[in-house]
A = this chain, B = another copy of it.
């Protein structure tokens, strides 16, 4: 019974996601779906990369949260269009809510939309939003065992950002085990080590995003 219900929700979501993808393709907009646990650094990474990306691209942000508009206020301070998507308790974004967000944006003038998902590495990985690529973020403070324990996300991502590298020396994070587990799930996605506090890897991240936009324009898909 419960399984049947879940299938119904996913079918409706897949339909809405396909419509989002078509809308974004027509407008020539690349969409990146940012997924991480709470506090892994989604908003902080946007705060670091948007000022650099803004020099080359026109971009906007859909900011997903269960409650509060705090993150949207942080992004709004960077003077890019931002729409807050509130799930009011829901643990992940669904494509229908993203569609309503996209309808509020001037898509014809944009190159890039960041969709910041709700902080959760289980459910959001299951829901297609119509994005070009899912980008995962893991903080080293969360531990090296997360790919093995939450395999779907790590399998689905087109790029993985390993954040808070400045904390690495203060943790028991085992890089060898982490890379081995991640590569077992995802052999090819770039793994980018970053730190919002020291700036490590931010330029590499910006280069990856620029490449995703270029691949979207060439019609070869942003994913790889």
Interface size for A (C-beta < 8 A) is 43
B37 near A149 with CB under 8 A, answer no
Within 8 Å by CB of A68, from B66, B67, B91, B149, lies B149
A122 near B170 with CB under 8 A, answer no
- Total copies of this chain within the assembly: 2
Distance in Å from the Cβ of A102 to the closest Cβ of chain B? 20
How far apart sit A171 and B185, CA to CA, in the bound complex (Å)? 31
Distance in Å from the Cβ of A56 to the closest Cβ of chain B? 29
Contacts of A71 in B (CB 8 A): 149
A66 near B143 with CB under 8 A, answer no
Contacts of A121 in B (CB 8 A): 38, 119-120
A66 near B149 with CB under 8 A, answer yes
Q: Can you list 11 residue pairs at the A/B interface with Cβ under 8 Å?
A: A5-B9, A38-B149, A70-B145, A71-B149, A89-B152, A91-B123, A118-B122, A123-B123, A141-B141, A141-B142, A170-B170
Contacts of A164 in B (CB 8 A): 141
Residue A151 at the chain B interface, CB threshold 8 Å: yes
Within 8 Å by CB of A119, from B39, B141, B150, B152, lies B150
Within 8 Å by CB of A38, from B66, B118, B146, B151, lies B146
Residue A126 at the chain B interface, CB threshold 8 Å: yes
Residue A105 at the chain B interface, CB threshold 8 Å: no
Chain A window 58-90, contacts with chain B (Cβ cutoff 8 Å), 1 for yes, 0 for no: 000000011110110000000000000000011
